[in-house]
Amino acid sequence: AIRLTQSPSSLSASTGDRVTITCRASQGISSFLAWYQQKPGKAPKLLISATATLQPGVPSRFSGSASGTDYTLTISDLQSEDFATYYCQQYYTQVYSFGQGTTLDIK
Amino acid sequence: EVQLEESGGGLVQPGRPLRLSCSTSGFTFSDHSMTWVRQAPGKGLEWVGLIRSQTYGGTAESAASVKGRITISRDESKSIAYLQINSLESEDTGVYYCSTSTSELPLAPLDVWGRGTMVTVSS
C-alpha cells in the first residue's frame, strides 16, 4: 500500500500568514494527489485534485504543487475560515490512502 | 445535486456484525464507484474500501486493516451502497462516511461526501 507522510502534524499561524503543508508519498503517484479540508463535526471537503487543480468555489489563496514524490499545499493570506485540519489523499491506485492530517490553528 | 446519506450506525457489541447503508440520489449510481472512509474519535481519516462501478466490474477493494472482515456491496436497483463489518472490535468505533466522485473515471478524487454515521463498539 502507498503510504503518505504528512508534515507538520500541527501548525499555528495568524490570519494573513502564508503556510505550507507537505505530503510525501512512499512511491510515485503520478500527480494523483488530492487535498481535503475538514472542520470539526463535518465531512471532508475536496479542495484540490490532481496535485494542483482547484475545485470550483475554492479560493485562489489555496494552491498545490509537487516535486518528485513530495506534494505541497500552500495557503496564502490565511483567513479565519481556513483554520481546520487538512489531509492529502492518493488515488493513484484504487487502494486509496490518506495522510495523517495537519491541524492548522490560530496562533 | 448529488447527495449521499449514511445510515445504520449505532451502539454495537464487540464481535457482532453491522451493515451500514449509503443511500444516494442526484446521479447515475451505476456509473460511479463508491468509497467508505472512517474516522476514529479525534483521529484522522482512514480509507476503508470501495466498490467499483459496473462499468469497471463492480468489484471491491479494502484496506489491509479490515481485509477479511468487511464486505462492500451495491444494489443498483436501489442506488444504495453497503458496508458490512463482521466481528466488530473497539478499534472500529468512529464515524463512517460514504463518498464518491462525480467523475466516472476509476481513479478520481472524492468530491461528494455524506454526513457520516457514528458506530460505537462497546459492551
Q: Which residue of B has its CA nearest to A45?
A: B111
Please tell me the predicted confidence (pLDDT) of residue A84.
Answer: 98
Question: Minimal CA–CA distance to A107: which of A7, A1, A16?
Answer: A16
Ordered per-residue pLDDT tens for chain A, 107 residues: 999 999 999 999 999 999 999 999 999 999 999 999 999 999 999 999 999 999 999 999 999 999 999 999 999 999 999 999 999 999 999 899 999 999 999 88
Which of B111, B112, B117 should we substitute to test contact with A (largest number of A Cβ atoms within 10 Å)? B111
Ordered per-residue pLDDT tens for chain B, 123 residues: 999 999 999 999 999 999 999 999 999 999 999 999 999 999 999 999 999 999 999 999 999 999 899 999 999 999 999 999 999 999 999 999 999 999 988 889 999 999 999 999 999
Q: Cell 493513484 maps to which residue? A: A92
* Phi, psi values for residue B93, rounded to 5°: -65, 135
Please tell me the predicted confidence (pLDDT) of residue A99.
Answer: 98
Q: Chains A and B: how many Cβ contacts under 8 Å?
A: 62
Please tell me the predicted confidence (pLDDT) of residue B106.
Answer: 83
> Bridge partners of A98?
A89
Cβ B70 vs Cβ B15: under 8 Å: no
Q: Cell 503517484 maps to which residue? A: A29
Give the 3-state secondary structure of residue B30.
helix
Q: How far apart are the first and last CA of chain A?
A: 36
Cβ B106 vs Cβ A35: under 8 Å: no
A89 contact partners, CB below 8 Å, separation of at least 6:
A4, A33, A34, A35, A36, A96, A97, A98, A99, B45, B47, B109, B110
Q: Which residue of B has its CA nearest to A89?
A: B109
Hey, are the CB atoms on B44 and A100 less than 8 Å from each other? yes
Please tell me the predicted confidence (pLDDT) of residue B16.
Answer: 98
